[in-house]
C-alpha cells in the first residue's frame, strides 16, 4: 500500500508539455489607457495544468495566475512580451523545471510622443564657454524629434523615428546661441502637436546685429510712416542712441522705441528734412557696436516755386523759378503752356537741367522761351520730372502778353529807300571817280603833246640856225 502511494505521487509530479512555436507570437496593438484581455492558448490535449502569466520571462517581477492576461488602463511600461506557463504546482514562484511555455504574445502599447526628462546646464554663461542639453524623448510609434534653438533655428540634432535619452554638449558658445533651447518632437499619435520642453540660454556678450535680419537702407514717400529697425544680440541689454549724421535734431514726428533685443526709430509722417543718414550706437558692459542707416526719398519731386518772368519781347520771354527737392533722383524741368478754361497743357520747351538741388540750399533756374507769337496773351508754368518718372506741376503760373511786332510794309519801304539811296551814292561815286580818271588821262596826254611840240620846235630852231650859218 505504501509503495502504491509513492508511485501516484511520482506520477503527479510529471508535467506533460507540448512544444510551442514561440516565434509565431501573437501581437496585440493597444493604445495607452485601454484595457487588455488575452486568453492563454492551451492545446486541447493538455489538461489539469496550473496556468500563469509572466512578462519577458521575468517570473519574479510580474506574475498573474490563470489563463486570462488582464491589464486595465494599460500604460506604456506594459509594452513587451508575455509568456503563459503551465505548471503542476500553485506555488507563487514555481520552479522553471516544473513548468513549460504554453503561449507567447507581444503587447505593443502605442502612445503619443512625450519627454520624460529635460535639462540645460548652465543656462547663463560667457561667450566661448560650453553648455549641455539633455533630453529623454519617448513614444510609440517612435517619434521624430530635435534639439534646437527656437529663436534662431540652429539645430544640434535631428532624429527620425527614434527615441533615446540624449545629452549634447555645445561647441564654444557664440552670442548667436542665446535663445530658447528646446527638445521638441511628435509621432503619429500626437495629433499634429509637438511635445516640447525647453529653457532660455543666455550668453553674456557685446551687442551685435542678428545676422541678415536688419535692413540698413529704407526708402519712403513723404507723408508716410517709416521705421529704422535693429534686431540684435547682446546681454545684458545695451543702451541705444540714435542720431543724425548731419548733426541736426530729429523732427517732431520721430519717436524711439527700445526693447530687450530690438530698437526702432519711427518716423510717423516723413517729411523732406527726415531724409538722410542716421547712426545707431549700442553699448553694454562688454562692448559697443555702431550701425549706419539711410532713409532715402521716393516719389514726385517738389513743385517749383517763385515763378517770375522778365525781358518780354514780341517773340520771347525769360522765366526764373526756384526748384524743389528731387526726391533723390536727378530732375529736369519743362516750361508748360496752360490753356484757359481747360485742364490741358502743352510743352513749350525741351528738358531743362539746372545744377543739382541741395536739400537745404535754394537755387534759381533761368530759361528764355523763344518762338512765341507777338501780341499774344500767355499763361505759363513750370513742371519738374525726376529720373524715376514722377512729374509735378507747379501750382504757380505767370501771365504776360508779348509785344507787338513792327509792320512788315514799313520795314520793306525803309529797306527799299535805303537800298536806292545806297545805290545812288554808289553810282555817283563811280561817275566822279571815272571823271577824275579821264581828267588825269587827258592832262597827261596834253602835257606830253606840249613837251613833244616844244622839243620839235627847239630841234627845228637848231636846224634852222644850223642851215643859216652854213649859207
Domain ranges, ordered by start, for the chain: 20-110, 112-206, 211-297, 305-401
At 9, the pLDDT band (50, 70, 90 cuts) reads: very low
- Determine the pLDDT at residue 356: 60
At 12, the pLDDT band (50, 70, 90 cuts) reads: very low
Tell me the whole-structure pTM to 2 decimals: 0.58
Mean predicted confidence (pLDDT) in 113-138: 94
- Determine the pLDDT at residue 47: 72
At 467, the pLDDT band (50, 70, 90 cuts) reads: very low
Third-level CATH fold of 305-401: Immunoglobulin-like (2.60.40)
User: What are the two backbone dihedrals, phi and then psi, of residue 138, each rounded to the nearest 5 degrees?
Assistant: -125, 160
* Nearest to 298, CA basis, from 321, 273, 320, 326: 326
Third-level CATH fold of 211-297: Immunoglobulin-like (2.60.40)
Residue-averaged pLDDT of the chain: 83
CATH number of 112-206: 2.60.40.10
Helix (H, G, I), strand (E, B) or coil at 438: helix
- For 229-274, the pLDDT digits (tens) are 999 999 999 999 999 999 999 999 999 999 989 999 999 999 999 9
Mean predicted confidence (pLDDT) in 393-404: 94
At 423, the pLDDT band (50, 70, 90 cuts) reads: confident
pLDDT of 281 strictly over 50: yes
Would you say 107 and 140 are in contact if contact means Cβ atoms under 8 Å apart? no
pLDDT of 197 strictly over 70: yes
Pick the CATH number of 20-110 from 2.60.40.10, 3.90.1300.10, 3.40.50.720, 3.40.640.10: 2.60.40.10
86: Cβ contacts below 8 Å, ≥ 6 apart: 15, 17, 42, 46, 49, 50, 51, 99, 100, 101, 102
Q: Do the domains 20-110 and 211-297 sit in the same CATH topology, yes or no?
A: yes
pLDDT of 143 strictly over 50: yes
Cα separation, 145 vs 137, in Å, equals 8
C-alpha cell at 180: 530658447
Mean predicted confidence (pLDDT) in 366-386: 95
At 415, the pLDDT band (50, 70, 90 cuts) reads: low
Amino acid at each position: 500500500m505504501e509503495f502504491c502511494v509513492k508511485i501516484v505521487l511520482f506520477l503527479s509530479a510529471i508535467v506533460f508539455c507540448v512544444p510551442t512555436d514561440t516565434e509565431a507570437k501573437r501581437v496585440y496593438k493597444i493604445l495607452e489607457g485601454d484595457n487588455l484581455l488575452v486568453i492563454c492558448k492551451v492545446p486541447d490535449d493538455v489538461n489539469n495544468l496550473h496556468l500563469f502569466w509572466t512578462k519577458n520571462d521575468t517570473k519574479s517581477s510580474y506574475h498573474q495566475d490563470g489563463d486570462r492576461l488582464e491589464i486595465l488602463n494599460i500604460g506604456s511600461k506594459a509594452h513587451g512580451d508575455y509568456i503563459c506557463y503551465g505548471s503542476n504546482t500553485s506555488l507563487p514562484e514555481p520552479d522553471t523545471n516544473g513548468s513549460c511555455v504554453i503561449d507567447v504574445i507581444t503587447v505593443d502599447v502605442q502612445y503619443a510622443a512625450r519627454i520624460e526628462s529635460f535639462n540645460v546646464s548652465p543656462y547663463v554663461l560667457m561667450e566661448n564657454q560650453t553648455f549641455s542639453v539633455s533630453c529623454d524623448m519617448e513614444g510609440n510609434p517612435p517619434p521624430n524629434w530635435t534639439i534646437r534653438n527656437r529663436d534662431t533655428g540652429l539645430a544640434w540634432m535631428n532624429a527620425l523615428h527614434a527615441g533615446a535619452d540624449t545629452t549634447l554638449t555645445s561647441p564654444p558658445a557664440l552670442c548667436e546661441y542665446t535663445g530658447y533651447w528646446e527638445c521638441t518632437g511628435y509621432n503619429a499619435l500626437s495629433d499634429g502637436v509637438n511635445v516640447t520642453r525647453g529653457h532660455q540660454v543666455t550668453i553674456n556678450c557685446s551687442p551685435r546685429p542678428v545676422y541678415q535680419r536688419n535692413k540698413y537702407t529704407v526708402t519712403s514717400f513723404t507723408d508716410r510712416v517709416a521705421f529704422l529697425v535693429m534686431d540684435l544680440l547682446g546681454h545684458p541689454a545695451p543702451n541705444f542712441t540714435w542720431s543724425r549724421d548731419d548733426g541736426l535734431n530729429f523732427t517732431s514726428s520721430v519717436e524711439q522705441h527700445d526693447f530687450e533685443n530690438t530698437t526702432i526709430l519711427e518716423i510717423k509722417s516723413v517729411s523732406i528734412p527726415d531724409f538722410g543718414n542716421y547712426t545707431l550706437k549700442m553699448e553694454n558692459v562688454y562692448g559697443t557696436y555702431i550701425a549706419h542707416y539711410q532713409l532715402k526719398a521716393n516719389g514726385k519731386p517738389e513743385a517749383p516755386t517763385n515763378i517770375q518772368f522778365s525781358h518780354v519781347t514780341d517773340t520771347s520771354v525769360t522765366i526764373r523759378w526756384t526748384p524743389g527737392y528731387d526726391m533723390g533722383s536727378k530732375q529736369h524741368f519743362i516750361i508748360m503752356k496752360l490753356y484757359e478754361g481747360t485742364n490741358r497743357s502743352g510743352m513749350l520747351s525741351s528738358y531743362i537741367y539746372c545744377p543739382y538741388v541741395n536739400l537745404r540750399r535754394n537755387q534759381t533756374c533761368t530759361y528764355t522761351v523763344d518762338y512765341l507769337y507777338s501780341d499774344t496773351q500767355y499763361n505759363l508754368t513750370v513742371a519738374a520730372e525726376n529720373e524715376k518718372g514722377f512729374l509735378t506741376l507747379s501750382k504757380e503760373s505767370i501771365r504776360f502778353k508779348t509785344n507787338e511786332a513792327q509792320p512788315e510794309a514799313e520795314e520793306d519801304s525803309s529797306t527799299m529807300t535805303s537800298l536806292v539811296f545806297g545805290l545812288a551814292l554808289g553810282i555817283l561815286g563811280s561817275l566822279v571817280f571815272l571823271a577824275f580818271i579821264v581828267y588825269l588821262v587827258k592832262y597827261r596826254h596834253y602835257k606830253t603833246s606840249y613837251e613833244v611840240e616844244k622839243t620839235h620846235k627847239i630841234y627845228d630852231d637848231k636846224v634852222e640856225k644850223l642851215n643859216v650859218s652854213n649859207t
